[in-house]
């Protein structure tokens, strides 16, 4: 039963993540869902600075993802352990999704 609950929770979290995406997210090569490579890519969007940071946390293998940002879709390849900073949109306070 524990394994079934874990699988169900994974599906639930996956659904929530895909239906409540912010301005920036990554997917696998199908452009719809994360894949195994996405499990090895850490990313963050900093709206005040207009920066996206990506890091391949796999120190032996290159990893690929599709970066989605503000309607643009960009294939990304990261070398092993590569850290990359990309310029993007700077959001005003009233444009942020997590404003109060």
Q: What is the pLDDT of residue 12?
A: 79
Output the CA–CA distances (angstroms, integers) from residue 69 to 7, 36, 52, 87, 88, in the order listed: 29, 20, 9, 11, 8
pTM for the predicted model, two decimal places: 0.80
- Residues of the chain short of pLDDT 70, as ranges, are 1-3, 5-6, 98-100
Q: What is the pLDDT of residue 6?
A: 65
Q: What angle do CA 29, 57, 18 make, to 5 degrees?
A: 45
For the chain, which domains are there?
22-95 (2.60.40.1180)
Instruction: Give the per-residue pLDDT at 10.
Output: 73
Q: What is the pLDDT of residues 62-86, one digit of tens each?
A: 999 999 999 999 999 999 999 999 9
């Amino acid at each position: 039963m524990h394994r079934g609950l874990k699988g169900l929770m994974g599906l639930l979290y996956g659904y929530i993540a895909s239906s409540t995406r912010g301005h920036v997210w990554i997917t696998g090569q199908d452009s719809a869902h994360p894949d195994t490579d996405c499990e090895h890519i850490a990313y963050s969007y900093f709206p005040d600075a207009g920066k996206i940071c990506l890091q391949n946390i796999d120190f032996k293998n290159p990893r690929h993802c599709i970066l989605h940002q503000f309607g643009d879709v960009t294939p990304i390849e990261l070398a092993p352990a590569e850290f990359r900073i990309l310029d993007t949109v700077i959001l005003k306070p009233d444009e942020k999704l997590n404003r109060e």
